[in-house]
Amino acid sequence: MTASDKAFTGSIAQIYDRLLVPLIFASYAQDLAQRIGARQPRDVLETAAGTGIVTRALHAKLPPDVPITATDLNEPMLMQARTHLAGAARVRWQQADALALPFADRSFDVTVCQFGAMFFPDRVKGYAEARRALRPGGRFVFNVWDRIEDNAFPHVVHETLQQLFPDDPPQFFTRTPHGYYDTERIKADLTAAGFADIVIETVTHRSRAASAHEPAMAFCQGTPMRGEIEARGTPGLEAATQAVAEALERRFGAGPIEGAIQALVISAA
């Protein structure tokens, strides 16, 4: 992972929230909220909350007396997240590094993280912090993307950008979002952080968009891939986005499109 992989700056947060969240994140947020709700926690800590799709799912699922503390390293993402739950008194938003959480030991029943662990520069340290914040018997529940080949839209985006920039192909997707799917490695990292009773499930959903242009915009301009494209100059961000849209349309057709998405959902005690 590079420093730019965590750069959710400028208009990225708004595009991410408007296009990418419903495209690939919403169904997995509901999945996590269901799992956490079944545990009947007294309180929940969320790390790497992004623009708050899991926070919203938890707010809708959990009883109104269960407080939710939602954190993210990137303040622009939290600013966007706040717009959705501005009047929710039980939700506390706080800028925080998942590798150095500003909370006392044994403060929460559940720690949850949606598609954030791939961005941790030191995953064992991040997991150890999640464990430190948990009370005895608490659970760490999180998910990570599976191989890019099992995720239809980003796979086409990645392959198209490889062809568009053959001399210096951008590798953000395979390096970070889809770069941490080896189950034995995940188990080893969690074990090193002190976790036990590790359960890993493969969960598949369908990703749907009104047109090929939506995922092209979402992945090219609503993720740190934007910075990689812009850094390479010609043909530029708009031309690259258009090329991706055309590739998606060739693969999935004109009009509404859909494709498979696949992730690993992990729970550890």
pLDDT tens, 18-59? 999 999 999 999 999 999 999 999 999 999 999 999 999 999
Which CATH number does 3-147+172-206+260-268 carry? 3.40.50.150
Residue 166: cis peptide before it, omega within 30 degrees of 0: no
Write down the pLDDT at residue 81: 96
Name the band, by pLDDT with cuts 50, 70 and 90, for residue 74: very high
Q: What is the mean pLDDT of the chain?
A: 95
Give percent of the chain with pLDDT exceeding 90.
94
Q: In what order do the strands lie in the sheet with 91-95?
A: 91-95, 68-72, 44-47, 108-114, 134-145, 257-268, 199-209
Q: How far is CA 194 from CA 4, 123, 134, 135, 266, in A?
A: 30, 12, 12, 13, 15
Kindly report the length of the chain.
269
Residue 183 CB-half CA count within 13 A:
10
Query: Among all chains, which residue has been given the structure tokens 């939290």?
Result: 78
pLDDT digits (tens, 9 = 90+) for 91-121: 999 999 999 999 999 999 999 999 999 999 9
State how far the Cα of 84 lies from the Cα of 104, in Å rounded to an integer. Answer: 28
- Report yes or no on whether pTM surpasses 0.75: yes
Tell me the residue type at 255. Answer: G
**Phi and psi angles of residue 120, each rounded to the nearest 5 degrees, phi first:** -70, 125
In the structure encoding, which two tokens stand for residue 262, read together?
């696949």
Domain residue limits, the chain:
3-147+172-206+260-268
Q: Is a pLDDT exceeding 90 seen at residue 172?
A: yes
